[in-house]
Amino acid sequence: MGMQNEKVTFSFGENWRSFVDTVSDDSIQRALSDIERWLGADTVIGKTILDIGSGSGIHSLCFHRLGAKEVRSFDLDPKSVESTGLLWRKAGNPSNWKVAQGSILDKDFVAGIGKHQIVYSWGVLHHTGSMWQAIDNACGLVEKGGLLWIAIYVKSPSYEHDLKLKRSYNQASRFGKKLIEWKEIGKLMRQRWDAGKNPFAWNEKRERGMDAHHDLLDWLGGLPYEVASAKEIIGFCEDRGFMIREIDDREANTVYLFSRER
């Protein structure tokens, strides 16, 4: 079964749309802190930002709040576009923040985007069905001297198991999906119990503003699903004129910050 021909019944956009209904000032602050930790408090000011696969739109909102000169957000999923649009309206319909529907794999769409000083894509490019082409296209949208901030699923021995789980989830009935979700929630609760934490508080807020429940659904439903080692990603981007500035490989998504040197 080809990556682009997977049976996919999960919608990232519907998950993000549900999340937006729960977005609190605390969630936004967590996302703001995430940006400031990686880029620095003043790095965004006056910069042009491209958010590839904007999802809920929470990071686009934060880029806007941090003083970006321009924010351009796009996503393939109409519900993600709707979600990002809701946060755009929450920000007061700013004219320097554009929200659109489009694909990073669409040559004509990408050709019309232009280059940006900061290009951000967290946990998106590995779900396109053509990850390396998606990363290549993203690299081409970064200005010389600009930053590329991406997160890609790390290659690990559990890949085949994880891929099977994702396929089973997408092929399951509505009730079957719930059973799989409950089983995974049970694992989260057991992990918390083993760590001496309250198992019933499993739906904790995450660093980037997401909560554990929406994060879990995103993980279970996420097809297509490709992975890469840090060595592969760094080498691929270096070949395109980038230098690695920072890397965080503590989670399933390895996060990379590159600067474009040429």
Q: What is the CATH number of the domain that holds 8?
A: 3.40.50.150
Neighbours of 176 (CB within 10 A): 12
Q: How many domains does the structure of the chain reveal?
A: 2
Same domain, 163 and 255: no
Same domain, 133 and 33: yes
Same domain, 21 and 52: yes
Same domain, 22 and 96: yes
pLDDT by residue, tens only, the chain of 262 residues: 345 557 777 677 676 677 777 677 888 898 999 999 999 989 999 999 999 999 889 999 999 999 999 999 999 999 999 999 999 999 999 999 999 999 999 999 999 999 999 999 999 999 999 999 999 999 999 999 999 999 999 999 999 999 999 899 999 998 999 998 899 889 989 998 999 999 888 777 765 556 778 778 888 888 899 999 999 999 999 999 999 999 999 888 999 999 999 9
Q: How far apart are CA 33 and CA 39, in angstroms?
A: 10
Looking at residue 208, the DSSP 8-state letter turns out to be T
Reported pTM: 0.86
Report whether 224 contacts 3 (CB < 8 A): yes
Q: Which of 95, 92, 55, 90 is nearest to 71 (CA)?
A: 95
Domain extent for 48: 3-155+227-260
236 CB-contact burial (10 Å; exposed 0-12 / middle 13-18 / buried 19+): middle
Same domain, 90 and 35: yes
> How many Cα atoms occupy the beta-carbon half-sphere of 196 within 13 Å?
0
Same domain, 187 and 250: no
Helix (H, G, I), strand (E, B) or coil at 49: strand
Determine the residue type at 80: S
How many residues does this entry show for the chain? 262
| C-alpha to C-alpha distances, 156 to 150, 159, 161, 246, 253, nearest whole angstrom | 18, 6, 10, 21, 11
User: What's the helix, strand, coil split of the chain in %, to 5?
Assistant: 45, 20, 35
